[in-house]
Amino acid sequence: MIAVDWGTSNFRAYRVAAGGGVVDVRTAPLGILAVAPGRFASVLDEHVADWLADGAGPVVMCGMVGSRQGWVEVPYVPSPAGLAEIAAGAQRLRVNAATSGLILPGVCCRDAAGVLDVMRGEEIQILGALDAGGDGVYCLPGTHTKFAMVAGQQIVSFRTFMTGELFDVLCRHSILAKTMDRLDGTDDAAFADGVRRARAGGALLHDLFGVRTRALFGELPSAAAASYLSGLLIGHELRDAAPAGHVTVLASERLAALYARALALAGVEYTLPDPVRALTRGCAAILALLREGGH
Amino acid sequence: MIAVDWGTSNFRAYRVAAGGGVVDVRTAPLGILAVAPGRFASVLDEHVADWLADGAGPVVMCGMVGSRQGWVEVPYVPSPAGLAEIAAGAQRLRVNAATSGLILPGVCCRDAAGVLDVMRGEEIQILGALDAGGDGVYCLPGTHTKFAMVAGQQIVSFRTFMTGELFDVLCRHSILAKTMDRLDGTDDAAFADGVRRARAGGALLHDLFGVRTRALFGELPSAAAASYLSGLLIGHELRDAAPAGHVTVLASERLAALYARALALAGVEYTLPDPVRALTRGCAAILALLREGGH
């Protein structure tokens, strides 16, 4: 099987052996917004032609590739949604003459006030990590961080937080940009200060201005300001998401380290399963369900 | 007297008659960041030369003109601060051979956790509006909205909220920009929806993503998305600032209308004194104090 996580900004393909192990990886900064309509099959072929020639398919794809701007629009499946609901909503297509493909649907959920939320891609990681995380809270940090509640092996509800994107626009386009001279790396003490400040219970809109005043008065070095802001935002997110007891975090190495630090400061237990393993396991489980169902 | 509010982005001068009335106004998009060091006296002269020739001075200036990047750096006065403390911290200078000038200090305040906050210019409006607002909560909406607590005719404490700037960067630089086709004007129903959503008690970082999902599902027209976002941000700000009983709002006409609407939805009483009258009264009161003191 080939599992593909095709998002807004990146293309990531994993060649999965029969036993479930990832034997090869191809990534490219070719998110769906960089692919012209009608060109998805060609772009896929350009990156994994040799795998396809080897008969490594089928290709199971998730993420924004199933959105309106993607290869084929695959409607969101409403929560609660588990592997069976995702499998039932999957869309078949031909990758080439010899290889079949599947595009998996995302999940949508409506909160008590009727406001919708959506995910595409994260649901597969969550369902693929159930052996590690079981029922409970899942956190998938990123540009748009997801917090999902899983019960009975289904995604029951979830909320998206615009944390990563807010960090990015504030660092690049707000008055806070003037207080920062580096955005890479992490100043651990400043990050922890930000988390603690957020946990003190103040208002996010006010705490953001504090980045500027602390810098203005020489209490926050410009090399540490971005880390402090990151801690503030993640701290507020965790305070509002209020995961109790235990959280399963599915994140890249860099974000996993930040969330581990912030959760530890919040006194919340966490586990950090491998997000790639979760993705490929999720794709494989859905493929197996469809085969069992005789499809 | 000539009262000047010289901020980061704008220069505003008011010619004040002996009786206190504003008889003429000059404004220009010449904030302090647009003025080269050493050029402040010339820029002032270019805009009010005729007033100065009439002997309309002295010139009483407040705002960022007293900051490190301004004409002369005038250190912040710590809160609690009233007219007397501001007057004592004022810096004298010559505007020209015939006219003297004053640059008034801003106010700083440290919260319980030791984090600093600052204002420059708003303090003069607050102290100039005491006859209208008395002791209690003052709100000065803008790029960086201030909420101040006044007791015993002194600014006792205050908090800055980055509400206006966050609205601006999200509208222009985030994924939410794609959901909006107009930023001018106000869709009153969408604004009220945003305020109500904020008051429902959710997380700001999550509610922001809701702008995108509501647009994605056709539940928020692109002409209304900016107003909904504005309502969300102001609603969260008011929820966190939690003014009780009564608020005195000092704002331009456009922002005054938005805050009046949001405060009404929150069930908070408000008054809307004229912010220009507040500014000129504040400047005049400080000038009078300095003259009484024989300075």
> What pLDDT tens digit does each residue of chain A (295 aa) get?
999 999 988 999 999 999 899 999 999 999 998 999 999 999 999 999 999 999 998 999 999 999 999 999 999 999 999 999 999 999 999 999 999 999 999 999 998 888 899 999 999 999 999 999 999 999 999 999 999 999 999 999 999 999 999 999 999 999 999 899 877 778 999 999 999 999 998 999 999 999 999 998 899 999 999 999 999 999 999 999 987 889 999 999 999 999 999 999 999 999 999 999 999 999 999 999 999 876 5
**Residue scoring higher pLDDT (B183 or B216):** B216
Interface test with A, best of B9, B108, B115, B147 (most A CBs within 10 A): B115
Q: What is the pLDDT of residue A295?
A: 55
Q: How far apart are CA A30 and CA A43, in angstroms?
A: 9
Q: pLDDT tens-digit profile of B113-163? A: 888 999 999 999 999 999 999 999 999 999 999 999 999 999 999 999 999
Amino acid at the residue B171: C
- Decide if B290 touches A, using CB distance below 8 A: no
Question: Please, how many CA atoms are within 13 Å of residue B191, restricted to the half-sphere of its CB?
Answer: 20
Topology alike, domains B2-111+276-292 and B163-271: yes
Return the DSSP state at A144.
T
The residues spanned by each domain of chain B are: 2-111+276-292, 163-271
CA angle, B110 then B113 then B116, to 5°: 30
Tokens of B291: 């003259």
Q: pLDDT tens-digit profile of A47-57? A: 999 999 999 98
Please state which CATH class domain A2-129+275-292 belongs to: alpha beta
Name the fold adopted by B2-111+276-292: Nucleotidyltransferase; domain 5 (3.30.420)
Does the pLDDT of residue B52 top 80, yes or no?
yes
Q: Look at residue A234 and give its three-state secondary structure.
A: helix
Interface test with B, best of A173, A205, A212 (most B CBs within 10 A): A205
Specify whether the CB–CB gap between A172 and A164 falls below 8 A. no
Q: What is the pLDDT of residue A294?
A: 65
Neighbours of B232 (CB within 10 A): 26
Name the fold adopted by B163-271: Nucleotidyltransferase; domain 5 (3.30.420)
Q: Look at residue B92 and give its three-state secondary structure.
A: strand
Return the DSSP state at A266.
H
Q: How far apart are CA A72 and CA A68, in angstroms?
A: 7
ipTM over 0.90: yes
**Across the interface, which of B115, B172, B213 has its CB nearest the CB of A214?**
B115
Does the pLDDT of residue B168 top 70, yes or no?
yes
Q: What is the pLDDT of residue B295?
A: 55
Q: pLDDT tens-digit profile of B235-250? A: 999 999 987 889 999 9
Neighbours of B183 (CB within 10 A): 15
Is the Cβ pair B174, A165 closer than 8 Å? Answer: yes
Q: pLDDT tens-digit profile of B204-238? A: 999 999 999 999 889 999 999 999 999 999 999 99
- Decide if B162 touches A, using CB distance below 8 A: yes
Q: What is the pLDDT of residue A234?
A: 98
Query: Would you give the distance in Å from CA A72 to the centre of its chain?
Result: 21
Neighbours of A50 (CB within 10 A): 11
Average pLDDT over every residue of B68-75: 95
Q: How far apart are CA B91 and CA A161, in angstroms?
A: 47
